Structure 1
Amino acid sequence: MIEIRKLTPEDAEGYFRLRLEGLENFPEAFASSYEEEIERQAEQVTERLRGQNPDTHFTAGAFYGGKLVGIGTFLQREKNKTKHKGDIVGVYVAKHFQRNGIGFKLLQYLVEEAKKIEDLEQILLTVVSENSSAIRSYEKLGFVEYGLERRSLKIYGYYYDESLMMLMLKKEPKIDEMNDALDIP
């Protein structure tokens, strides 16, 4: 049975171990590198989880048999002009648990929790353009590609392109609706 919930500081050690596994096994899936993250201390990860606002910035985990096997983070942007947007980052499922729907369930959870944020209108993410299975999962949830960043990551001399994807939570107002809201004849 899979349980998905927001992580707490007590989950820091499992989160840190799983994140390092992802960075080591799939370096092209993350902007951070294993070498950068290994320098962190478990206490720093604990403080980061403790400092998150659980309503607008949270890390979720998927547990199987009580063991943390999947992670993902949602961050609502903080600036007034961009707080209508949020980002999903750092999604990873342990190697031996991949390809059985855990990642999709984790993504569903992140999206559903993010939808509870009153002023959130769109969720953004990036994914290596070669990762077709992840892209299919995102598309299944309603994400669409809106751009491609060429040579986004450089790992050991090899470049990876990243697909920029978005999920619109609220439809864009039509020009007449905007004019009415602004009381323009």
Structure 2
Amino acid sequence: MKLALKEVTENNFFEIIDLKSDKEQEKIFQIYERWVGSNAFFLAVCQTFSFTPKAIYDDNTLIGFTSYGFRKETNRFELISMMIGHAFQGKGYGVPVLKAIIDDMVNMYNCKEIYLSVIYNNERAIKTYEKLGFVPTGEVESAHHPEPIYCLKLS
């Protein structure tokens, strides 16, 4: 595994937009997929609210997309999206990708805490987040679905 978080450019933009988290999503375009907003949605959020979008690669293969940054409304550093394309799910990418994102956020922002929200019944994502130390805060974000908020405290 040779993971790298890379800039979104003219060269990978459409490939990122086409990457879906669920095979059924290949047939349709929606703003929200089953477990995550579409990459197109999060690219727009990044542009509008000054978050950082990154393409996730294993060597030269695009496997996912993430976005994160400082959210002014909450005064927090937040991981607002992490998606792995459906063809790459179940192959052991979750934890290493999340570690790479955390490292990138710490290097970029020198943050001491990282927050995220997750759809309440996305058990696979919740297990991955908890495995790396994210804990529920008791808060719930009222997004497209109710989304419990998790926090990772860094030393």
Assess if the C-alpha contact under 8 Å between 1:74 and 1:89 holds in 2: yes
Please tell me whether residue 89 in structure 1 is matched to residue 80 in structure 2.
yes
Q: Quick one: distance in 1 between partners of 2:4 and 2:132? A: 17
- 2:35 partner amino acid: A
Equivalent residues in 2 for 1:37-76, closer than 5 Å: 37=40, 57-64=51-58, 66-76=60-70
Counterpart residue number, 2:15? 14
Counterpart residue number, 2:146? 161
Please tell me whether residue 123 in structure 1 is matched to residue 152 in structure 2.
no
> C-alpha root-mean-square deviation of aligned residues, in Å?
3.4
Which consecutive residues of structure 1, in runs of 5 or more, have no partner in the other structure? Answer: 154-159, 171-185
Equivalent residues in 2 for 1:105-184, closer than 5 Å: 105-117=96-108, 120-149=111-140, 152-153=143-144, 160-170=145-155
Q: Secondary structure at the match of 1:29?
A: coil
Q: Quick one: distance in 1 between partners of 2:152 and 2:56? A: 22
Assess if the C-alpha contact under 8 Å between 1:27 and 1:33 holds in 2: yes
Counterpart residue number, 2:29? none
Counterpart residue number, 1:2? 2
Q: Secondary structure at the match of 1:27?
A: coil
Identical pairs, percent: 20
Assess if the C-alpha contact under 8 Å between 1:124 and 1:167 holds in 2: yes
Assess if the C-alpha contact under 8 Å between 1:61 and 1:106 holds in 2: no
Q: What is the total number of aligned residue pairs between the two structures?
A: 145
- 1:22 partner amino acid: S
Per-residue displacement from partner, 1:87-124 (whole Å, max 9, x unpaired)?
11221111121012212222111101111245522111
- 1:161 partner amino acid: P
